[in-house]
């Protein structure tokens, strides 16, 4: 499965569950008041934990690595279109909202975005 690089500028290495070496696509967009972080699932090109299972740990690792204020980001997960005949490989975006406790993201809440919401957010 080839992943479209439309929403990724780099491959980001991160420590997944149990510190397993893992990879995701990463794109950071500077918006008016917040930075938009888009992590893209790489499927079989990721040797470790998926972006969803990495959750708050991945958000923190990205913000620490890129020197972003974790309280001032919009975090999106992208399951990219892989042009498969199977509908569960269609492109989907989820906005992940979270609370901070001692600088760590907790109580993650996932909300699937419509294509119109994604377009408005990224324009």
pLDDT digits (tens, 9 = 90+) for 56-115: 999 999 999 999 999 999 999 998 876 666 655 678 999 999 999 999 999 999 999 999
C-beta of residue 94 within 8 angstroms of C-beta of residue 80: no
Instruction: Please give the Cα distance from 42 to 44 (Å, whole number).
Output: 6
Instruction: Please give the Cα distance from 47 to 31 (Å, whole number).
Output: 31
Measured on CA atoms in the order 106, 112, 118, 120, is the torsion positive or negative?
Answer: negative
Instruction: Please give the Cα distance from 17 to 14 (Å, whole number).
Output: 10
Instruction: Please give the Cα distance from 86 to 82 (Å, whole number).
Output: 9
User: Model-level pTM?
Assistant: 0.89
With a cut of 90, say whether residue 44 has pLDDT above it: no
Question: Strand 73-79 and strand 92-101: pairing?
Answer: antiparallel
DSSP 3: P
DSSP 114: P
Determine the pLDDT at residue 2: 62
> pLDDT tens across 64-75, in order?
999 999 999 999
Instruction: Please give the Cα distance from 62 to 59 (Å, whole number).
Output: 5
């Amino acid at each position: 499965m080839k992943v479209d690089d439309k929403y990724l500028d780099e491959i980001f290495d991160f420590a997944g569950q149990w510190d397993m070496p893992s990879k995701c696509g990463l794109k950071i967009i500077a918006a008016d008041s917040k930075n938009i972080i888009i992590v893209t699932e790489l499927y079989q090109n990721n040797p470790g934990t998926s972006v969803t299972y990495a959750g708050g740990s991945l958000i923190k690792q990205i913000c620490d690595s890129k020197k972003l204020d974790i309280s001032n980001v919009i975090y999106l997960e992208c399951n990219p279109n892989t042009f498969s005949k199977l509908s569960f490989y269609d492109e989907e975006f989820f906005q992940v909202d979270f609370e901070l406790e001692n600088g760590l993201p907790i109580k993650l809440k996932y909300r699937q975005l419509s294509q119109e919401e994604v377009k408005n957010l990224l324009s």
